[in-house]
Each structure stands twice: as C-alpha cells, then as structure tokens.
A and B are shown apart, each in its own frame.
Chain A
C-alpha cells in the first residue's frame, strides 16, 4: 500500500485529532489530501515528531494526538521510544511509515517509478527501487 493511500484511508478519522507529522513526503502528502488547522508539520528536527506528540499528549490529556513518523526519523530518536513506552499516554498514537529508506524528503523522490508491493504486507510501505541512491537527500 502506498503511504498516501494509507493517509487517505484514515483522513476522516483525523478531523478531531491533533496531528503531528515528520518532514518530507509524509507532511506533503497529508497536506495534499487537505490541510486542517489541527495538523502540524515538523519540517525539520528529524526524530522529534514523536517527542512533540508526547508533549502535546501530556499537556492536553483530553485531546487525541496522532504522530505520523518515518523509520529514518525514528532511528534518529530511538531512545525516545523508551520515553514513549515509559509514559504511554492513552491519547497518543504513533504511526511509523517504514519504507526502509531515507528517501522521503526531496520532491524528486516522489516522481520515481511506482512502488513495488512488498511481500511482507503487514508493513505499510512505499518501497523505493533498490537501485535508488542510498545517500541522505539534502534537506
């Protein structure tokens, strides 16, 4: 499944929720579906989307908070997962789009050939071609 299709599928459920996204394609795709004032796009500070979500969730226990994160960002704040686990606020959902690459950022990456379906269908991926450059795109 493509990440943008996953976002479209859950978009109606985001109407009354506070949403924090990490940078790059996640932010652009959510915004392209339809920006809402309760969406916040963290366009830098890789890793901190989950921490921001935790701060919001702890500050507003009555609100429902969703974080859309990427696997690269999670890797940059892996210790933050232990903090999330320690406090595990009931009003926080942390969604990690795992495309097993650091290729989300540049607009050029979204013009690559269509994704190939992964055998491990449990994972929501928009897998990039293996031949893609492994280097981290400029931010």
Chain B
C-alpha cells in the first residue's frame, strides 16, 4: 500500500514538536502510518474513535484541561463531525487542530470517495474555518506549526488538508 511512511513521519513529528499529546483518530488508508506512530509512542495518547465527531469533544476536553491535541480524520470524517465543530468547538472557542486526509481529489481512483473531494473546501469556507493544504514534505513542519499558532491565537478550529501528493506514493 503506497501510503508515504516518510511523509507520515514528518507530519507526526511536527505534531509532537508543537506539543500535541492527545490524538484522536478513526482509521483510513492514508492515515495508517500516522495512527500507528501515535499508537507506538508512549508519550502520545491515541484515542481510537467510533465516530469522528467524538474527537471534537475529546479535543475540547483536552483543551479545557490544558493539553494540546489534534484530530486525524478523512474528509468524510470531517463531514461526520460538522455539528460538533459548530456547536462545541466554534461555540466554545476551542483551538481545534484538524488534520484531514483529502480523498476524492485529482488522482483519486476510488469512486466512492469522489463526492467528498468537492464538498470539503466549500464546507470549510462556509463554516469560516481557516485551512491550508499540505502537498510537499518541505512545507509540513512549518504549516502544522503555523496552523496550531493560529488556532491558539484565534481560539477557533483550523484545518490542514493532507493532499494526495503528500500522502500517496505513486
């Protein structure tokens, strides 16, 4: 399975480097290495979810408890989390850091993923959520750090889209 382990390592180290100690996740193909890294790391608490929306509550609780956290999910998981994002994270001004694997974009071969690709960015814009994309390994550390900085200065959710170019080796 050509998911990039090297780029997953860059993403993981950047998250840990900016102080994230709780990661909530639901498995998806592009996140397989990231989730394994979190699971293997005794300094990281991985919370495996039944539904991605739970991760919003977990990150909100972690924030109130003074611990930095992040959500790892596919863009369809983001779709499954919308009410939690709006009525918990936005309402209570939680600095929610979301790393979203962007399925259904150019190059996607799985037909069932394609609707999500065209819905993700319009929904992020509709919710007023600041977001950026990670295409290239050189921008990973810098953008993850800056995403968290903005989340904390604004006390609002911030999203990073993990793009196919970064996560999938072809």
Residues of A participating in the B interface, judged by any CB pair closer than 8 Å: 18, 20, 40, 42-45, 47-60, 63, 77, 79-80, 82-83, 86-87
Contact = CB atoms under 8 A, between A and B. Distances in A.
25 contacts: A18-B65, A42-B88, A44-B87, A44-B88, A45-B83, A47-B84, A48-B54, A48-B57, A51-B53, A51-B60, A54-B58, A55-B61, A55-B64, A56-B61, A58-B58, A59-B22, A59-B65, A63-B65, A77-B51, A77-B57, A79-B49, A79-B54, A80-B51, A80-B57, A82-B50
A44 B83 CA distance: 9
Nearest to A58: B45
Contact of B60 (A52, A80, A86): A52
A56 B84 contact: no
Contacts of B7: none
B111 interface: no
A1 B120 CA distance: 47
Contact of A55 (B48, B69, B83): B69
B76 to A, nearest CB: 15
Contacts, number: 103
B54 A58 contact: no
Interface string B30-42: 0000000000000
B47 A45 contact: no
B53 A77 contact: yes
A80 to B, nearest CB: 5
Interface residues of B, number: 30
B126 interface: no
Nearest to A45: B88
A51 B88 CA distance: 11
Contacts of A47: 53, 57, 84
Interface in B53-92: 53-67, 69, 83-84, 87-88, 91-92
Among A54, A58, A60, chain B packs the most CB atoms within 10 A around the CB of A58
A45 B54 contact: no
Contacts of B51: 77, 79-80
Given A44-B88, A48-B56, 4 more contacts: A43-B91, A48-B57, A48-B84, A59-B21
Q: Which 10 residue pairs of A and B lie closest in terms of their CB atoms, listed nearest first? A: A55-B61, A51-B57, A79-B50, A48-B57, A59-B65, A45-B88, A44-B87, A55-B58, A59-B67, A52-B61
Contacts of A57: 61
A56 B62 contact: yes
B57 A50 contact: yes
Contacts of B91: 43-45
Nearest to A82: B50
A59 B69 CA distance: 9
A34 B97 CA distance: 34
